[in-house]
Amino acid sequence: MPKMKISRLMFYSTILTSVMLSSCSQHAQSYSTVENSASNTATYWTEQPFCSGRYQINLPANRKGGTSWIKYNGWQITVRPDYWNKSVELASKIQELGHNGSDIFIENRTIVPNKAIAMVTQAPGSWEHSVSKHLKGMLYYVDYRFKLSKNDAYTVRAFVRIMPVNGKEPPNLKQLEKSKVDEAIRYLQDDFFNKMRDRSESDIPQQQGVCLTEGFIADKGSEPFWGRAGIKIKDYKDVYAELTTGGSLEEGDKPLLERDLFTKDSALDKLFSWAKYSTIRKGKRNINGMAGSEKLVKWQGNRYLFIWEKDDGSVRFKMTFRTSNNNSAGSPLSEKEALTAWDAILPTLKKRI
């Protein structure tokens, strides 16, 4: 399918033509108004760079990070904006209750005052019987939580296993727990926490490494990274962007243009089947040397889902323009305005270095 680039500039060009026919004396003023309006719109949507992992893209400056999920060099990390205080409160509540769901509370530990804490819980199990033939001993979770920026909360989970002695609880269990937890925390700090530095969202590092929310880890550029970063646009509560990098298409997966947008019979699949979504445009679209495709759809009036994906599945950018919990009218943006935003932002996506 041929590319169709729809922008506010093209929309206003049609108006400009009619103005020219009616009055040549108004030509310069009309053209200037149209040009400035289109330029201002593009400037708003691409005002400030944003980086995640080893990639960057330009987005509105008036934005807020959402929850992010990251896998880096063997570590799994969750980032929750403005959640540090709640995270500390939650750890205290779990200590008071004595459990976290079915996990037994073991210990809360302050690592760096007002900066990093660790909570240890024990998974359900029995010293006498293994959970499965592949899982022996007792499993412990070490949830290392630390703060970046003013109140953003990172959680990194490490695992500890203590083996039974003759099918029973070891006689020196508490000493083993402390020793194993000390070791896990020390390794996590050396391999992850101590390598990170704070950064502002507008700070785009000019060296190899991975961008995290309000943080950066310098590396050689070859360490494995997978990340999904969500971004909310403050001026439009219904506009949400998501950048996923470091992934790949699994064996048997179809490329974007050939596959359904949602897993069959999932909630979103059922919603879209009921809403009867339509395709605005789809086709191949290369971005800054990255071969990929885009698929843009709409449903129920002003509700849109726009996706671009690199052909190998390693990079994916998505924007949704839709209703919020208290808004039944759909996105405040028209189709042309949504396309203007998309066509301004997407071409700025690139590998950071």
Determine the Cα–Cα distance for residues 26 and 29; give it in Å rounded to an integer. 6
Task: Decide if pLDDT at 317 tops 80.
Answer: yes
State the helix-helix crossing angle for 335-345 and 8-22, rounded to 10 degrees: 120
Helix, strand, or coil (residue 82)? coil
- Between 338 and 332, the more confident residue is 338
Residues 6+ apart with CB under 8 A from 169: 127
Q: Is the pLDDT of residue 285 over 90?
A: yes
**So what's the pLDDT on residue 14?**
31
Domain ranges of the chain: 1-45, 48-71+197-351, 77-191
In angstroms, what CA-CA distances link 260 with 74, 222, 254, 257, 268? 31, 32, 9, 8, 11
Instruction: Collapse the DSSP code of 159 into the 3-class scheme (helix H, G, I; strand E, B; otherwise coil) and give the result.
Output: strand
Segment 230-273, tens digit of pLDDT: 999 999 988 999 999 999 988 778 889 988 776 555 555 555 55
Q: Is 138 exposed, middle or buried (0-12, 13-18, 19+ CB in 10 A)?
A: buried
C-alpha 26/C-alpha 10 separation (Å) is: 19
What is the pLDDT, as a whole number, of residue 253?
Answer: 85
Residue 34 has a pLDDT of 35
CA distances from 104 to 97, 123, 277 (A): 9, 7, 47
SS3 242: strand
How far is Cα 202 from Cα 183, in angstroms, rounded to an integer? 36
At 314, is the secondary structure helix, strand, or coil? coil
pLDDT at residue 322, as a whole number: 82
Torsion of CA 52, 55, 57, 62, to 10 degrees: 20
DSSP-derived letter for residue 127 is S
Cα→Cα distances 74→18, 181, 208, 211, 224, Å: 61, 18, 18, 16, 8
- Assigned architecture for domain 48-71+197-351: 3-Layer(aba) Sandwich (3.40)
* Tokens standing for residue 238: 């219904």
